[in-house]
Structure 1
Amino acid sequence: MFKTLIDAATLAQHVNDPDWVVIDCRHDLMNPAYGRDAYAAGHIPGAQFASIDDDLSGAKRGADGVFRGRHPLPERATLVETLRRFGIGDDTQVVAYDAHGGMYAARLWWLLRWLGHEAVAVLDGGLPAWQWQAPGQPLATDAPTRAPGKLSDRPALTRTVTVDDVLANITSNTNVVIDARASDRFRGENETIDPVGGHIPGAKNRFFKDNLQADGTFKPAEQLWQAFTPLFTAPASAIMQCGSGVTACHNLLAMEVAGLPGAALYPGSWSEWCADPARPVATGA
């Protein structure tokens, strides 16, 4: 069972394994059509495409009409049905990949763990690694289908916090909020992506790309451990967030690789937080 990362050479040995499901999670925040177009142009053989917007996120507004963020969590029952359609069952080994160092694949990794599914891993290095670590494996252009899986909704292997929890934490200072966005967004200097710039008061910045080596694969566990441990007193005291709850999962994955499990995800993240002008905002470093 692979629970965090898997290398391309190992995946190549299992692309035809009926008990394995490979999911292409490529996405572009500024171009929603990119993922499907890239998948159609070429993907790992047997892989199916999951849309961050349509498959791996829920409605942006709740039943009360309140904005929940750019990529809020889907309803658990809806997510279970979506993943069953991909052929995922309780005994399925799932491998998620993208072409961006795992920034989107980590979302599916986290969501499956949220449903209590352990056998899910991110392809280390993504599609680029597949192309140089698995020579002789051509990309496919077909769109395969699988028989529905029998995935169960089991106790979560992850934790979440709400916007109210994060707001209360500003006063209690019980937990540390760690923001996975780039430093310019954290400081409030990128209005293209964040019309309301800045960060949650008291938050620390750990850009998710700092988890990666130059070739796009994850840094060794020891290096990740050394990078994360100065940020908190214990992993369980950390709350991970980003722009919309997607790349925060990359930091959560990196912490699992480092042997530091237990941090929580704030799913609404900055896009939910800044939607209410009554919530405090900090800027600068």
Structure 2
Amino acid sequence: MNLTRPLISAPELRALLAAGQPVVLLDCGFDLTDAAAGERAYAAGHLPGAVYAHLDRDLSGDKSAGPAQGGRHPLPTREAFAATAGRWGVRPGVPVVAYDAQGGPYAARAWWLLRWLGHADVAVLDGGPAAWQADGGTLSTEAASSPEAQPPYPATAQAGMPTISAAELLQQAGRVRLFDARAPERYRGEVEPLDAQAGHIPGARNRFFKDNLGADGRFKPAETLRAEWAALIGRPGSEWGVVQQCGSGVTACHNLLAMAHAGLGESTLYPGSWSEWSADPARPVARGS
């Protein structure tokens, strides 16, 4: 079975597993203010057979250069992430389902990275562990056995998962629709708990990633998101490109996934996001709404 949509429901996942389909399950739970919280939650209970994907170690690259070079969570090289994917047991033709208990931002980062690597057969579990349990699924406290060793994933450049650099974004100022996925108070510059300066990139509009979710913690229906995003983006077929950013290129992937779920195609990720942008005092900063 190929995962042709970016989201999979708990009943669909249970049916897939019941059919004996090999599936790589990734538990991506994380807390930006407590880097060990996700592993503790994984140990306390996770989907049976899931392996843990750590945002800092597995879903990010080398941070030694600091936020000015790629932000707080720089993208890994394709070669490094191909090796990580192989370690998880990912190979062409094997579906991957990622999840977290935080509404999907960290799972969306794994979804985006695997698509960027060239693995299209990947989806995010809509509603995460809560939806799994509500459908009768159980959680396990047993660490997943090591998956069958795989060589590095045969990575290919994914033209459909484009990125943009800070320099390119400066050049494109006024010619793209830029969306900031951070909480509104961070976007407005009222607080900044993580990065060098408070505020946002001039021209960016705020689309808090949690606005993609309904009251039940699952993504809103595709038609609802299509209408919401279309109202933000403008008329179909316009010349505007769409760029997604956040604090460090993580929750922005939630907006990318929401647009894909809505049938609006792939937008562009600014991986360094505000953490990279704000690390350079020469770059312009805006505050307020």
* Aligned partners of 1:236 and 1:261 also within 8 Å: no
* Aligned partners of 2:163 and 2:270 also within 8 Å: yes
In 1, the alpha carbon distance for the partners of 2:256 and 2:177 equals 14
Shift of 1:281: 0.2
* Aligned partners of 2:67 and 2:279 also within 8 Å: no
In 2, the alpha carbon distance for the partners of 1:121 and 1:149 equals 20
Segments of 4+ in structure 1 off by > 6 A? none
In 1, the alpha carbon distance for the partners of 2:252 and 2:52 equals 21
Q: Specify every segment of 5 or more residues in structure 2 that has no aligned partner in the other structure, as ranges.
A: none
Note if 1:272 corresponds to 2:272. Answer: no
Deviation per residue, 1:129-180 (Å, 9 max, x gap): 11112x153434223211123521023130100010111122xx11111000
* Among 58, 69, 72, the residue aligned to 2:71: 69
2:15 aligns with: 13
TM-score, normalisation: structure 2: 0.92
1:145 aligns with: 146
The 1:217–1:136 alpha-carbon spacing in structure 2 relative to 1, beyond 3 Å, is: closer
1:105 aligns with: 107
Note if 1:258 corresponds to 2:262. Answer: yes
* Aligned partners of 2:177 and 2:241 also within 8 Å: yes
* Among 85, 92, 95, the residue aligned to 1:93: 95
* Aligned partners of 2:62 and 2:76 also within 8 Å: yes
* Among 28, 32, 36, the residue aligned to 1:29: 32
In 2, the alpha carbon distance for the partners of 1:236 and 1:139 equals 46
1:249 aligns with: 253
Q: How do 1:1-285 residues align onto structure 2 when only pairs under 5 Å count?
A: 1-2=2-3, 3-15=5-17, 17=20, 19-62=22-65, 66-133=68-135, 135=136, 137-150=138-151, 151-156=153-158, 157-170=160-173, 173-233=174-234, 234=238, 237-285=241-289
* Aligned partners of 1:236 and 1:264 also within 8 Å: no
TM-score, normalisation: structure 1: 0.94
In 1, the alpha carbon distance for the partners of 2:218 and 2:34 equals 24
Q: Specify every segment of 5 or more residues in structure 1 that has no aligned partner in the other structure, as ranges.
A: none
* Aligned partners of 1:113 and 1:158 also within 8 Å: yes
Deviation per residue, 1:199-235 (Å, 9 max, x gap): 0001111000000011110000111011111222459
- CA root-mean-square deviation: 1.8
Shift of 1:100: 1.0
